[in-house]
Amino acid sequence: MLGGVYYVAEDFWPLNTSLWIKEYPHTTPLYAFHALLDIDIGSFNAGSAVPTLNRNHIHNLPVVKPPMTAILAFDRIVGELYARRNANLVESRTLLATRDALLPKLMSGEIRVREAEALAA
């Protein structure tokens, strides 16, 4: 999809049609991600049949670069929010798995609520 901007915090293998940032000499990954979200990258489509992005068009865009202290403060606050979101996702998946394991057994009468509480603890 042309114009998709994604933040990947772990190792990944991009497709050969992807553009990615390897180094962040004057910013941080999270700040760069959010700055790119503000750009309508899809409007830079240079292809006709196949959506194409000429990275030179993006390189020439003017950007406002806040002081590094502001970028680092942004990164600290937003990084904590992402960490909380990721912890919530893990907890949500765990709760879903617990529900999916226990609900059929509760409905069938195979186990009772007290037994399920002991299993879930």
> What pLDDT digit, counting tens, does each position of 16-37 carry?
778 788 888 889 999 999 998 9
> What pLDDT digit, counting tens, does each position of 43-73 carry?
888 877 777 888 888 888 888 899 999 999 9
Please state whether the predicted TM-score (pTM) of the whole model is above 0.75.
no
- How far is Cα 10 from Cα 44, in angstroms, rounded to an integer? 28
Is pLDDT larger for residue 97 or for residue 22?
97
For 40, the 3-state DSSP assignment is coil
| Adjacent-strand bridge partners of 45 | 53
Is pLDDT larger for residue 96 or for residue 47?
96
